[in-house]
Amino acid sequence: LLNAPLRPPSSSQDFDPDDPEAALLHPASDAADSPQNLARRPPVVAILGHVDHGKTTLLDRLRHSRLVEAEFGGITQRIGCITFLDTPGHAAFSNMRQRGASATDIAVLVVAADDGVMPQTLESLRYISAAGVPMVVAVNKVDKREAQPDSVMQELSKHGVLVEELGGDVQCVPVSALKGSGVERLLEAVLALAELLELRANMQGRAEGVVIESGQSKGLGKTASLLCTRGCVKPGTVLVAGRAFCRVRRMTDDLGRPVDRLLPGRAAEIAGWRQLPSAGESALEAASERLARAVIAQRERRAVEAKSAADAAASEEARREWQRAYSEHLAGLADMSIRERRRHKASDELADTARQLMDSKFAHGTEPRLSLTIRADADGSLEAILGLLSGYADPRCHLDRPAAAAGVPVVEHRVVYHMIADLKARLTAALPPKEEERPIGSADVLQVFHVSGPGGSHHKVAVAGCACKSGQLSRKKHFRLVRNGQTVFTGRCASLRHLKSTVETVRSGMECGVQLDLPAGVSYLPGDQIVCFETVAVPQSIDWEPGFGLEDEADP
């Protein structure tokens, strides 16, 4: 650098307007990747594995490990801390795992000791192999009773991963991310491997990086997580990634703290993008915003030209196919008799009529097509949604057929509030009725009599002499004996008398004798209250609200 000739700062005119891409890829003021410009950089480590195998828990444990902050055998002092990249394990996020593997120096493959090798484990292995990065295996959840780490090693060997315990060269560390055991050994393995890799980067040249993910951030607008691979990114740096560019307005780390300089091997969330870059794009520093805009315009122009060329090629292929089919048709007619030609012409007319009917069906919307606008908070989430939708082989849904077979109604609504109201009504109708007690009348026990049992029996039966205070007492309803506010008995009435007659009901203001089906050990006392009630089935209603104010919306 000391021997390099002095150059004035690049101006917005220092590039060929016909080929701004060349000025971006080969800036005149860039520092060469000579040995004196290369310095040690921290390793970038990706955490990969199957869903729910403990990747995020392990990453949290690694982030808070004192070993990362302190010196270990002089290694940490020379290469600095480690940059970790987490990757989702769900099947829908395969593209994000692929980017994580290709953008890193070392991969940590997490395999649960109680679950073994699973589909996303094998997928991660393929990405690691394709990226050509060294790997460390972390056998997680070894603290669980059903853990079988030896079985996991044997499974991995069947897929080409031979760990050191089985005579291979891949380090394998049993860990418990939940309890923290084995985490320091895992860090030692990663740091030792990083020491062997001799990771270096040009700290003086123009800034370069890889977009890990992008999305909208509240308060910051369009942001992108960038892994720096060369040079230094600072506030004010102009970056171009694909057909998006930004002038760096703010940089924050994974904890939300501001970052002044982003050096190779580090990652940060960068705000200031005019458009969202696609995840996986290479980001290059541009000398000016004018150069960045010119590069994007050139790339967009080339993309339009490429699409036009592809459309023209497809159109030409369709024309050639039609010409071939028409030639075969003419050749077939030449071999036919006059009668066969007439019959063939009639069938062609019938086919044309059927084709026109199909076209009219689409035109009149009997088989409607739905255009979707998908909005996601991050580029990776959008990829996952599109991947799931593209997995359907038949574009026609035919939802009514399986719904009818399963007895499930399919209802169409044009207003979301009407849909929610209909859903609530259907859920309410599906709820079982709730039984409620409805009081009919009550009576106070004035005194207790003992009379002969049924049929003149010598067995004496207790009867409560009562005065009906409210409502009425009905013999066929339910009764409750209440004493000092506490229920003593609930059941049926064996006999209800007024004077000497057996009656079905007694109204308010009348005196009566009440004999309940009391169990042994339960008796009446003067001052008790006898309550007559009935049980009714009351429809239940669901009190769920979607959260966007149905009650404030008037029906259209």
Please report, for the chain, the start and end positions of each structural domain, with discontinuous segments joined by +: 42-198, 203-286, 336-389, 434-538
For residue 233, what pLDDT is reported? 94
Per-residue pLDDT of the chain (556 residues; tens, 9 = 90+): 223 333 333 444 455 666 777 777 777 666 777 787 788 888 988 888 888 888 888 888 877 654 444 433 333 333 347 888 776 544 444 555 565 556 788 999 999 999 899 988 998 898 888 888 899 999 999 999 888 999 999 999 999 999 999 999 999 999 998 888 999 999 999 999 998 988 888 888 889 999 988 888 888 889 999 999 999 999 999 999 999 999 999 999 888 889 999 999 999 999 999 999 988 888 999 988 999 999 999 999 998 899 888 888 888 888 888 778 777 766 776 666 666 666 666 556 555 655 555 555 444 445 556 677 777 766 666 666 777 776 665 555 677 778 888 888 888 887 777 888 888 888 888 888 888 999 999 999 999 988 887 665 667 889 999 999 999 999 999 999 999 999 999 999 999 999 889 999 999 999 999 999 999 889 999 999 999 999 999 888 887 777 655 444 444 4
Amino acid at 165: E
74 sits in the region (left: phi over 0; alpha: psi -120 to 50; else beta) called: left
For residue 60, what pLDDT is reported? 82
Task: Output phi, psi for 281, to 5 deg.
Answer: -70, 145
Domain 203-286 has CATH 2.40.30.170: no
Answer yes or no: are the C-beta atoms of 110 and 397 closer than 8 Å: no
**Integer Cα distance of 483 and 466 in angstroms:** 14
Give the three-class secondary structure for 301: helix
The distance between the two most distant Cα atoms of the chain, rounded to a whole number of Å, is: 131
Amino acid at 13: Q
Answer yes or no: are the C-beta atoms of 286 and 245 closer than 8 Å: yes
Same CATH topology for 203-286 and 434-538? yes
CATH of 434-538, one of 2.40.110.10, 2.40.30.10, 1.20.930.40, 3.30.70.890: 2.40.30.10
Domain 42-198 has CATH 3.40.50.300: yes
Amino acid at 545: E
Q: Say which residues have a Cβ less than 8 Å from residue 187's Cβ, sequence separation at least 6.
A: 62, 65, 67, 68, 72, 82
**Integer Cα distance of 44 and 61 in angstroms:** 17
Answer yes or no: are the C-beta atoms of 121 and 109 closer than 8 Å: yes
For residue 420, what pLDDT is reported? 85
Query: Whose CA is closest to 134, among 105, 157, 110, 100?
Result: 105
Query: Whose CA is closest to 226, among 128, 82, 99?
Result: 99
For residue 28, what pLDDT is reported? 63
Give the three-class secondary structure for 502: strand
